[in-house]
Structure formats: C-alpha cells, structure tokens
Amino acid sequence: MNDPIPTPDIEDFDSDPLSQRNEDIFARRELLRVGHVPESGRIVGRDQEISAVEDLLRPAAFGEPPKNAIVYGKTGTGKSLVSKHVTGRARAIATRNNAKFGAAYVDCDQCDTQTRVARSLAQQVQQQSSKNISVPDIGIGASEYFKYLWSMLEELDVFIAIVDEIDKLGDDEVLFKLSRAEESGKTSCYVGVLAISNKIEYYERLNERVKSSLQEAELVFHPYDANQLISILENRRDAFKPNVLQSGVIPRVAALAAREHGDARKAIEILYSAGELAAKNGDAQVTEEHVDAAQDYADVSRFQELIRGSTPHSKYALFALAYLTKIRIGDAFSTGEIYRVYEQVCDSEGADALSRQRVLELLKEWAFSDITENKYTGGGKGQGSYREHTLLREADMVIETVFEQASTKRDILAELQE
C-alpha cells in the first residue's frame, strides 16, 4: 500500500528532538483547556447564576415544561460553563425521576448557519435516542433536519437546547423554531432554550418575535473581580506539578485578566501560555515574567488574527481610522473624515469605494469586536449630532497588520500624505 506518511527507522531515539518531553512542569494540562468543564467543586463565585439557571430547569428535572432564557455577559464570565453544568445535573436528576430528558449544546461560532445548528441538534439527539435513526451528514437542509429532530423528540418528555454564541448566528430562525416548537405543534416534547450571547448589544439585533419567546427570563453574568479570578485559578493549580508556580504568578494573571474585564477564559489562557513558555525555555518554575510575556503575545496575536481574517474593505475602513489616529491630535473622528481617507486608500489599491453607509456599517462591525468604539455626539448649536469613531488599539499595529507588505504600506502612506 502507498502510505503517504512513512514511519522511518530512527537510529538514535534519545537524540531525536521529538523524544524530548518539555512538559515536565505540567501535571494535568487538561485542567487548563478552554473546553474543560470543571466539577462543581471547582466552580467559583457563580452561586447566584447557578441558582437562577436551576430555577429555569427545575421543572425539566421532573419532566415538566422548562423556561426559555437569554443569558448575557461578556466573554469568560462562566455562561457556557454554568449552562452546561446545570443542564447536566438536571439530566441526572430527571433520569432518577424517570423523566425522559434530552439535551444538546451547539456553539454557533462553529455552527453559524441554520442548517449547521439544526444538524448538530438532530445528531446529538440521535445519539441519545434508542431508535435506530440515521441523520444524514450532507444533502439536506435545515427544515429536513428539524423534521428529524421533531420526530426524535417524540420519545422524550423534555429537551434542553443550549445555543451558545447566538451573536455569531446569521439569522434568528433557529431560535424562533426551537422556542416555539411545542406551541406550534411540532412536537409534544417540552423544549427549553438557553440562548447565550457574549454581546448585550445583540439584543437590539434580535427579531421582535424571537425576543418575546426567549425572554421568559433574562440572566446577566457579571465579570469576575480579581479575587474571584484568583480562586478560579487556585482551583486549577494542580494542572502544574507542586511548587512550579512562583507565588506571584496567580495574582499577576488575575490582575491582568481583571484589568480587561474579569474574563476567566483569558486568565486561564494566560496561565496556560505562561506555563508553556516556561516549559519551552526549559525553566523549572513559572514566573511573573513568563506571565507578562504570555499576555503580550496573546493580546497582539488575537487582534491580528481578527484583522487578517476580515474583508479588504473592512480593513481599509479600519486603516483609515488608524491613519487619522496616528497623524492627528485627538482620537475621535467622524464617519465623514474616515470616509475621505478610506476613499483614498481604495484609490491607491485600485478598488471601487463602497458607499458611505456601507463603510459606516463596517466600522460598526469593528466596534462589535471591541477594536473600535463609536458614539453619537451632539455637535455645536445647529450642527446636529453625528457619529464619532475611536480606535481602541495601537494605530501602528493596525497599520502594520492591514498592509503586511512593507512596500504597499509605504506607497499608501506616501499617497495619503500628498
């Protein structure tokens, strides 16, 4: 057979760099993985939120209709964790109560269309089903997947769908269908939806009809303070071998993460990368210096990924704002000012400029990712109000990242200066 990946005869195993383990400082790496769901003993500072979700799901644990809810909060405030944790317990208790309970979790960051969400739900329910149904992987659309779902739900008393990161979802149709499933006679199973969003602003974008059916309850998860972050990290200290973390490390990580917005994910990520950095350097201990280096790296690379992954005109609009921020005193610019620079950038790139309204929308998208901020300001008397945009990141870094080729960047900057 023609094996595309040959296994070579290695003469001296010990001197092969792949045999050098460098993770000696870690004891249980998995505790620091983002998807890791800690046991209840390791969940800190979310008692109120946990009991609010318990209130929603308690009926479900008895095979009775649960409530729908929208869960809001910034990233890393424990929304996904708490939702999964309570749903899992509800399932265990329902089983003990002889209620037939099904549950599924979909992350719209990965399943960003109706079809993908519906497929994922149907396939998860199928795995919990006793019937021998096979849900196809391809070739059918959202409404067919829903048909599979509804028919499988007939076996169940209750079904909880956790739909995470709904702000990444193209349209609200799925949420609407799920939240109205039983009412619209699609299934006799009681369906409860926990819709999670990282963006409070997302609420404005939700369709009225979806709002009214999801809004039976609304939960807001607040950011963690530095002490809570310390506890969360302390509870995972055993990811490392004893004495590996220098005493200042956890407080330092917590302080950095609290400074942003009290993001537990970020805290865990920084701790993990600080550990990896130490391991890579062959250091026996993780120090505060490792923490700072890991933080700088994470911050820049995440932000650069966002820019690199965006469309050309979205980049040009952001570039225009960065350019103004760099050359002018002041940090807030009107859409009109930005648009004029944007047009010049398009010109020198040989691209047709989009309309001003469209550019405004692109700028709002950047605000949605927390790269920029925009607000209405009242102009002077008789001037009316207008929208102003502010860059929240370093202008130089934006300029570097948008035009990674030095020559292109030079050309554009030269043309703008004329």
Ligand X SMILES: Nc1ncnc2c1ncn2[C@@H]1O[C@H](COP(=O)(O)OP(=O)(O)O)[C@@H](O)[C@H]1O
Report the interface residues with ligand X, using CB under 6 A.
Answer: 34, 36, 38, 42-46, 73, 75-81, 232, 264-265, 268
Q: Are 198 and 205 in contact (CB under 8 A)?
A: no
Query: φ, ψ for residue 247 (rounded to 5)?
Result: -60, -30
Question: Measured at CB, which residue is nearest to Mg ion?
Answer: 80
Binding mask 73-92 for Mg ion (x = CB under 5 A): -------x------------
214 labelled ligand-binding:
no
Q: Least distance (Å) from ligand X to the CB of residue 97? A: 27
Pairing mode, if any, of strands 101-107 and 158-164?
A: parallel
User: Which of 222, 326 has the CB closer to ligand X?
Assistant: 222
**Residue 45, contacted partner among ligand X, Mg ion, none, CB below 5-8 A by kind:** ligand X
265/387 with CB nearer ligand X:
265
**265 contacts which partner out of Mg ion, ligand X, none, CB within 5 to 8 A by kind?**
ligand X
CA distances from 311 to 166, 307, 315, 317 (A): 22, 9, 6, 10
Pairwise CA distance, residues 318 & 304, whole Å: 12
Ligand-binding annotation for 78, yes or no, is yes
Q: Give the 3-state secondary structure of the chain.
A: CCCCCCCCCCCCHHHCHHHCCCCCCECCHHHHCCCCCCCHHHCCCCHHHHHHHHHHHCHHHHCCCCCCEEEEECCCCCHHHHHHHHHHHHHHHHHHCCCCEEEEEEECCCCCCHHHHHHHHHHHHHHHCCCCCCCCCCCCCHHHHHHHHHHHHCCCCEEEEEEECHHHCCCCHHHHHHHCCCCCCCCCCEEEEEEEECCCCHHHHCCHHHHHHHCCCEEEECCCCHHHHHHHHHCCHHHECCCCECCCHHHHHHHHHHHHCCCHHHHHHHHHHHHHHHHHCCCCCECHHHHHHHHHHHHHHHHHHHHHCCCHHHHHHHHHHHHHHHHCCCCEEEHHHHHHHHHHHHHHHCCCCCCHHHHHHHHHHHHHCCCEEEEEEECCCCCCEEEEEEECCCHHHHHHHHCCCHHHHHHHHHHHHC
79 annotated as a binding-site residue: yes
Q: 236 a known binding residue?
A: yes
Among Mg ion, ligand X, none, what does residue 147 contact (CB within 5–8 Å per kind)?
Answer: none
Please state the closest distance from residue 78 (CB atom) to Mg ion, in A.
Answer: 8
Is 353 in contact with 342 (CB distance < 8 Å)? Answer: yes
Rank residues 106 and 152 by Cβ distance to Mg ion and give the closer one: 106
Cβ distance to ligand X smaller for residue 255 or 413: 255
Q: Name the minimum Å distance from CB 38 to ligand X.
A: 5
Does 224 appear as a known binding residue?
Answer: yes
Smallest distance from ligand X to CB 225, Å: 12
Given ligand X, Mg ion, none, residue 179, with its beta carbon under 5 to 8 Å by kind, binds none
Shortest distance, CB of residue 223 to ligand X, whole angstroms? 10
Nearer to ligand X, 50 or 345 (CB): 50
Minimum CB separation from Mg ion for residue 72, in Å?
A: 11
Least distance in angstroms from the C-beta of 398 to ligand X: 25
Q: Which does 90 bind (CB under 5 to 8 A by kind): ligand X, Mg ion, none?
A: none
Name which of ligand X, Mg ion, none residue 268 binds, using a CB cut-off of 5 to 8 Å depending on partner kind.
ligand X
**Least distance CB 337 / Mg ion (angstroms):** 37
The answer to the question of residue 68 lying near Mg ion (CB under 5 A) is: no
Q: Which does 76 bind (CB under 5 to 8 A by kind): ligand X, Mg ion, none?
A: ligand X
Closest separation in Å from C-beta 74 to Mg ion = 10
Using a 10 angstrom Cβ sphere, with 0-12 exposed, 13-18 middle and 19 or more buried, the burial of residue 385 is exposed
Partner whose binding site includes residue 42, from Mg ion, ligand X, none (CB under 5 to 8 Å by kind): ligand X
Which of residues 90 and 354 has its CB atom nearest to ligand X in the complex?
Answer: 90
The one of ligand X, Mg ion, none whose footprint includes residue 102, by CB under 5 to 8 A per kind, is: none
Q: Which residues bind Mg ion (CB under 5 A)?
A: 80
Residue numbers in the known binding site for ATP are 77-81, 224, 236
Residue numbers in the known binding site are 77-81, 224, 236
